[in-house]
């Protein structure tokens, strides 16, 4: 998925994590206990929810977290102390991670994931953690919005060529978690067992003396899986009639043309024309795929107008999380040594919640999520809140359930699902349980997040101290 | 840079490149000569130019282009022919590439880079090529716009945590080409020899019993390179006064505080207050760094208001190319077998220029670029146009010069600059020569691009044939 290709992820960080870590090391603070929460302040795309993604990749990278000898020498060269560089060369991540499951639906201000351990361990991994979780959660959320827009029609990821470099591999993975059925990205398919799918390019058509001949040759090779691109010359005047001819020839041989693809022009008008032409030819089973700058807004319009489109191919706007481009998730210290901490700042909106917290969710009898509760954990309890939850991670109805689990203890993965289709299935079930007004694509309602009085009291106490 | 970490980049592609390639292979068309151009139709960010970036990475990946045995077996499993999979397992990229230099300023419709070779070679690499060039060119262009906005002030890349996964490594590289002075991204610094830079996080401050103590401990460690973050509690009431105390203590020891950093609040007002407070304390040498959702628009405003800011730290909006997120560069076939080809489509804006072309640039006496010319190359000439240009790639004044060179021949790199600071220097010089109205950040003028009559004639001829 990209990050796993980096054999020594230690340097995959902001410089200040290393300069601060050297400071903790020199002052002897590096072994003091600390606790950091990952959360976001605002959901992207004008929405109210986020699909949490990237956990399996994060945990795998943390387990193999290393600095190579070369890298340590380079740091030495950059002015870091020899003692600190020696320490890094033998360093292994030894923190503990409590997290919601990958694919879970989460909301603003919630401590989605909490890292505890030595101050050094918590600090070193900040940038790496944010880079992985922010991006995959952004794309999973975008995919879920597209899926909410297109209902039972299929979504296909065509984004690789417009992806942000190798980030596209993680993006295709996250898109699958969010509800995309297949990807054109072969490497993502190979690595993450995502179904791969594709059509044909204009260059194929241009290599033949005629469009019909190009279609025929392709259909000969892929008699039951061909999706013919009909807009190279003129969709209605040439592409669709030629596709119909080929479909009829396939029928004679006992095969079936899978679909045609429209890639330019007005998709509503063209899909209606294409559907009518195909149906008139007795080809009601030939599906229609549409691509070309699709977004959830355009898909909602097409669905409202009952456009006869079976597959939506989404590229740029899915793979880059357009128009936001980033989830502004942050990772803030909530505990240091023997005391809770918080970020104050001049801007109240940038403050964080202090203390070691738990996150629970209350559901209605029919399973609909009603509200979430952020509380302080009882001090002295060494049990991760996750242990209170059942082993399968499902909520029982109408009760308050902790939704985070212990996923890594002292640097070792304790529990994680890496099967992408299981994660996608879980995410889809959880989405079904989000109240309709909260998952509405435009002007959604806020989800009810209750911050326990104990936290409010703690904030007051800490403020007074400052 | 991410992509180079993928040991076998063959699968880093869209599925249809492989299904089509199998088609070329089966029909014996795979060895026919072809030619593809990389170009974009519209510059991003409402601008008129693009900084071309990603070339060195692309060429290196093409030279090591491979499919692993495992990958070929997986393709076999997905239904590809054994013969074709065997062919792929021994396949090496053997195409020829002509390109403008990395860092060059290029304009819409221009054939920035042309790949020629067998049909199979040209087709297989399409997605890989687009993914690398589109993204790095997007970010280099964004960085250049930010640099144009901030003039002689320094730009620092703080984007890694909000980057699109591992794409952030290539993004930091591209940002350096576009004019960013330093990056917080340590791995990008290590790999591409970019200066690394950083400040401190709020967590550092929170680990101490007081902000002053936190500043003092940091300054002890980094007596001449500290940038103190002053907004943890209250910038004006606490952070700046404490930074001044520390700066004075450093002075007594013969050291100098490098800078303070403002990360929230109104940057114009706060930077003015901070400057006045520092100056009053006799600390006119202490610089002011500002971060927090900066973009070229906000920087232009701050510069117009003469905000006393020395370093602009740019994160999310630089590293993700906000608000566009992708450069819509395409790669279209212009020649196949013994004839020129073009894409027609229902939308004229999506058409391509047929034939094997050259790209030249005419400059004024003072070196300002006047216009570019896209022509057809003389058929029968086996010389790449690049050979007509001088060995150092500089234009002589007031003449028409070809601006592309042969950079890869039959799969082997012939000429490429990998030194990032040389590429950045070249890019900066070229930017200086773009007419002011064309590089204006808002409502820029179009650059004059002349498409030779021979191409117009060829388009007419090909249209008539269709």
pLDDT tens by residue, B366-418: 999 999 999 998 655 555 564 433 333 444 445 789 999 999 999 999 978 88
Q: Which residue of A lies nearest to B322 if distances are taken between CA atoms? A: A325
Which one of B160, B190, B319 has the shortest CB-CB distance to A127? B160
Give, as one character, the DSSP assignment of residue A446: P
Distance in angstroms (rounded) separating the CA atoms of residues A17 and B262: 18
Q: Taking the domains of chain A in order of start, what are their residue ranges?
A: 3-140+333-465, 145-319
Q: Which CATH topology does A3-140+333-465 take?
A: nicotinate phosphoribosyltransferase (3.20.140)
Tell me which of 3.30.565.10, 1.10.3720.10, 3.20.140.10, 1.10.150.120 is the CATH number of domain B3-140+324-465: 3.20.140.10
Geometric angle at alpha carbon A257, from A253 and A259, rounded to 5°: 180
Query: Contacts of residue A53 in chain B, CB cutoff 8 Å?
Result: none
What is the tens place of the pLDDT at every residue in A451-461? 999 999 999 99
Q: CB distance from A248 to chain B under 8 Å?
A: no
Same fold, A3-140+333-465 and A145-319: no
Question: Best interface-test mutation with B: which of A24, A58, A159, A161 has the largest number of B CBs within 10 A?
Answer: A161
Nearest Cα of chain B lies from the Cα of A397 at a distance, in angstroms, of 37
Bridge pairing between strands B259-262 and B287-290: parallel
Q: Is residue B431 within 8 angstroms of chain A, CB to CB?
A: no
pLDDT at position A6, please? 76
The Cα–Cα gap between A187 and A192 comes to 8
Note whether A280 contacts B: Cβ–Cβ < 8 A. no
End-to-end CA distance of chain A: 44
Element (H, E) at B105: strand B105-106
Alpha helices in B118-239 (DSSP H): 119-124, 126-150, 167-177, 186-192, 202-206, 211-221
Q: DSSP letters of B313-370?
A: EE-HHHHTTTTT----EEEEEEEETTEE-----S-GGG----S-EEEEEEE-TTS-EE
Q: Which residue from B189, B320, B344 is facing A233, i.e. has the nearest CB?
A: B344
Place A416 in a pLDDT band, splitting at 50, 70 and 90: confident
| For range B149-165, the mean pLDDT | 96
Query: Residue A441: which residues within 8 A CB-CB, separation 6 or more?
Result: A47, A145, A148, A149, A296, A297, A300
| Helix segments in A233-385, DSSP class H | 240-252, 267-280, 296-304, 316-319
In the block, tokens 């670029």 appear at B369
As given in the structure block, the two tokens for residue A52 are 């949490």
**CA gap A74, A92 in Å, rounded:** 19
First to last CA, chain B: 44
B316 close contact with A: CB closer than 8 A = yes
Task: Residue window 158-187, chain B: list those with CB within 8 Å of chain A.
Answer: 158, 160-171, 184-187
Rounded to 5, what percent of chain A is helix, strand, coil?
A: 40, 20, 40
Query: What pLDDT is attached to residue A3?
Result: 66
Q: What residues of B are in contact with residue A134 (Cβ under 8 Å)?
A: 161-162
CA distances (Å), B365 to each of B226, B426, B431, in order? 46, 19, 16
Chain B contact for A213, CB < 8 A? Answer: no
pLDDT digits (tens, 9 = 90+) for B415-461: 788 899 999 999 999 999 999 999 999 999 999 999 999 999 999 99
The whole-number average pLDDT for the span B196-222 is 94
Does residue A389 register a pLDDT over 50? no
Chain B positions in Cβ-Cβ contact with residue A131 (cut-off 8 Å): 160-163, 165, 168
Q: B71 — contact with chain A (CB < 8 Å)?
A: yes
The backbone torsions φ and ψ at residue A77, rounded to the nearest 5 degrees and listed phi first, read -65, -30
CB within 8 Å of A421: residues ≥ 6 apart: A176, A193
CB–CB contact A163 B36 (8 Å): no
Best of B11, B117, B166 to disrupt the A interface (most A CBs within 10 Å) is B166
pLDDT of residue B394: 45
Band of the pLDDT at A233, cuts 50, 70, 90? confident
ipTM field? 0.94
CB-nearest to A207 from B29, B127, B168 is B29
- Residue matched to tokens 């509200």: A371
Q: Does domain A145-319 have CATH number 3.40.630.10?
A: no
What are the distances in angstroms from CA B224 to CA A69, A77, B156, B216, B253?
27, 17, 18, 13, 11
How many inter-chain contacts (A to B, CB under 8 Å) are there? 310
Q: What are phi and psi of A64, to 5 degrees?
A: -110, 20
Which residues in chain A have their CB less than 8 angstroms from residue B343's CB?
202, 206, 232
The answer to whether residue A413 scores a pLDDT higher than 80 is: yes
Query: Measuring CA to CA, how many Å separate B174 from each of A117, A336, B75?
Result: 36, 38, 33
């Amino acid at each position: 998925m990209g990050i796993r290709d980096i054999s020594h992820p230690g340097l995959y960080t902001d410089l200040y994590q290393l300069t601060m870590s050297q400071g903790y090391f020199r002052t002897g603070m590096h072994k003091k206990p600390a606790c950091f929460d990952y959360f976001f302040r605002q959901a992207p795309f004008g929405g109210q929810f986020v699909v949490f993604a990237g956990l399996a990749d994060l945990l795998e990278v943390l387990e193999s977290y290393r600095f190579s000898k070369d890298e340590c020498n380079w740091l030495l060269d950059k002015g870091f102390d020899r003692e600190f560089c020696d320490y890094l060369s033998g360093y292994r991540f030894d923190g503990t991670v409590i997290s919601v499951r990958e694919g879970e639906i989460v909301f603003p201000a919630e401590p989605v994931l909490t890292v505890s351990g030595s101050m050094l361990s918590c600090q070193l991994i900040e940038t790496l953690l944010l880079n992985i979780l922010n991006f995959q959660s952004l794309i999973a959320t975008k995919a879920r919005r597209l899926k909410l827009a297109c209902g039972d029609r299929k979504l296909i990821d065509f984004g690789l060529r417009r992806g942000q470099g190798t980030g596209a591999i993680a993006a295709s993975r996250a898109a699958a978690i969010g509800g995309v059925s297949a990807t054109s990205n072969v490497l993502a398919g190979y690595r993450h067992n995502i179904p791969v799918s594709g059509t044909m390019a204009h260059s194929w058509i241009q290599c033949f003396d005629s469009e019909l001949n190009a279609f025929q040759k392709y259909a000969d090779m892929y008699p039951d899986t061909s999706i013919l691109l009909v807009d190279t010359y003129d969709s209605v005047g040439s592409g669709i009639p030629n596709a119909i001819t080929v479909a009829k020839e396939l029928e004679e041989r006992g095969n079936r043309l899978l679909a045609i693809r429209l890639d330019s022009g007005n998709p509503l008008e063209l899909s209606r024309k294409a559907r009518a032409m195909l149906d008139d030819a007795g080809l009601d089973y030939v599906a229609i795929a549409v691509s070309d700058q699709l977004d959830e807004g355009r898909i909602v319009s097409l669905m409202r107008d009952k456009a006869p489109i079976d597959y939506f191919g989404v590229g740029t706007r899915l793979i880059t999380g357009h128009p936001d481009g980033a989830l502004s998730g942050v990772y803030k210290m909530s505990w240091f040594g023997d005391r809770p901490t918080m970020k104050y700042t001049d801007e109240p909106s940038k403050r964080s919640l202090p203390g070691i917290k738990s996150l629970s969710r209350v559901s209605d009898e029919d399973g609909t999520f009603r509200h979430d509760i952020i509380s302080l954990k009882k001090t002295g309890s060494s049990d991760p809140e996750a242990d209170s939850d059942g082993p399968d991670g499902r909520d029982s109805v109408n009760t308050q359930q902790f939704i985070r689990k212990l996923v890594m203890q002292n640097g070792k993965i304790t529990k994680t699902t890496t099967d992408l289709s299981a994660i996608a299935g879980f995410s889809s079930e959880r989405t079904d349980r989000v109240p309709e007004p909260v998952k509405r694509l435009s002007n959604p309602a806020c989800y009810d997040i209750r911050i326990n009085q104990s936290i409010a009291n703690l904030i007051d106490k800490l403020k007074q101290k400052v």
